[in-house]
Amino acid sequence: MLILKRFSHTPTTEKGEAPTTEKGDAMPVKWARSVLLCTALASIASGGCRGIYSRLVHQAMPPETRPAEIVFPVRPLADGEFEALADSLLAQAAPHPDLRPFLAHIDRFREAEIRAYEGPATCIRCHAEIEVEDEQGRSHQVSLLDDVTGSAHYRLFTDRHPNVYGFNGQVADNFPMGKIDRPCPKPGSFVMTSWAELVVSQQGDTFSTGCGQCHIGGQYAAPLGEIMPGYRTLPEEKHALDCLICHSVAYDLNQKVVVVDDDGRTRWGQDRSLRAALTVGIPISQNCLRCHQHNFGGDVYVESPGASSRIETGHAILTIMGCARESRCRLPRLPRE
């Protein structure tokens, strides 16, 4: 157990002498306190106080980037409204047999008496744990939310890189690497400064732009704390996840715009309607291309003529998720240490 004492005088060594630096100067009290504070933080990070440590990490960051409890609008449907919505979705999907698997949740929601979608809290009622494969092909049961918040889709980086090899033929070292601290090919999309931005053009049009348009964290900034050793995702960060942008075939992209909250901070809106929640399944190319088909220019810039941006999913009858399954990339997410 770590015990901290407040120094009321210069600290001394076991021999009663004042500690000194390499130059022989006495260590200032302020320096000694800093050492104790760092030791305390390290103790918290390596112990069980994960929530405390994660909040301390955010206290060291600008206030506008700190996560908060975000209230998303929720509109419960009456039973009659639910059945009318279900009939409408079934009728629309009737000519498209490939979309029928995405309607399985209609019966599940009906039986569970779920009449409103409340974000990840609704998902984990049935999907608290999932089975995943690691890079060796071994199956594991893991927490759904821990798995999602360990993905590059959320964190913008990965810790391990089993598919990256050096010139010596060896697998790359384990270290955080990704867009969390590097610019994206989309101009203006440096995550530290462009997460959820409103840009007004010379013609007076307002555009929503920034990294949060694709990455699924729904907070006021990118999940910057995730790159800190020992960090654990906070409950309010998990609550703000946008699950449906990847899993729903009826997601209303008109809801995916930058909104300004009462405190002046900006974030990305989400479609949390029951219509979107009732049409979820394993992502298909249509879902993936919402983010993976862009012009490397965002909404503000003209398309780069040299960018290989127009993805044709018909090449070699290739689908995005088919490739993902064959390579076991799992979009790429890896269990934390």
Do 99 and 38 belong together in one domain?
Answer: no
**What is the per-residue pLDDT for 68?**
96
**What is the per-residue pLDDT for 317?**
35
Q: Chunk the chain into consecutive blocks of 10 residues (it has 337) and report each block's average pLDDT, rounded to whole numbers.
A: 40 52 53 61 54 92 94 94 97 91 95 97 95 84 94 90 86 85 69 89 90 93 92 96 96 95 95 97 89 61 48 41 47 43
Do 55 and 164 belong together in one domain?
Answer: no
**What is the per-residue pLDDT for 125?**
95
Distance CA 193, CA 195 (A): 6
Residue 207 phi/psi, 5-degree rounding, is -120, 145
Cβ atoms of residues 134 and 140 within 8 Å: yes
Do 56 and 156 belong together in one domain?
Answer: no
**Owning domain of residue 87:** 79-327
Do 175 and 299 belong together in one domain?
Answer: yes
**What is the per-residue pLDDT for 337?**
40
Do 50 and 142 belong together in one domain?
Answer: no
**What is the per-residue pLDDT for 32?**
56
**What is the per-residue pLDDT for 282?**
92
**What is the per-residue pLDDT for 8?**
41
- Number of structural domains the chain divides into: 2
Residue 254 tokens, joined = 């008109």
For the chain, how many residues are written? Answer: 337
Closest CA to 39 of 89, 66, 2, 70: 2
Domain contains 270: yes
Cβ atoms of residues 43 and 2 within 8 Å: yes
Do 96 and 213 belong together in one domain?
Answer: yes
Cβ atoms of residues 213 and 199 within 8 Å: no
Domain contains 286: yes
**What is the per-residue pLDDT for 162?**
80
Domain contains 70: no
Do 51 and 140 belong together in one domain?
Answer: no
Do 129 and 262 belong together in one domain?
Answer: yes
Do 92 and 55 belong together in one domain?
Answer: no
Domain contains 335: no
Do 109 and 168 belong together in one domain?
Answer: yes
Do 166 and 266 belong together in one domain?
Answer: yes
Domain contains 90: yes
Measuring CA to CA, how many Å separate 179 from each of 78, 153, 190, 222, 319?
Answer: 43, 10, 8, 10, 25
Domain contains 206: yes
Distance CA 74, CA 273 (A): 8
Do 218 and 116 belong together in one domain?
Answer: yes
Hey, how many other C-beta atoms are within 10 angstroms of the C-beta on 91? 9
Measuring CA to CA, how many Å separate 8 from each of 5, 11, 17, 33, 41?
Answer: 9, 9, 16, 11, 22
Domain contains 287: yes
Domain contains 277: yes
| H/E element, 324 | helix 320-327
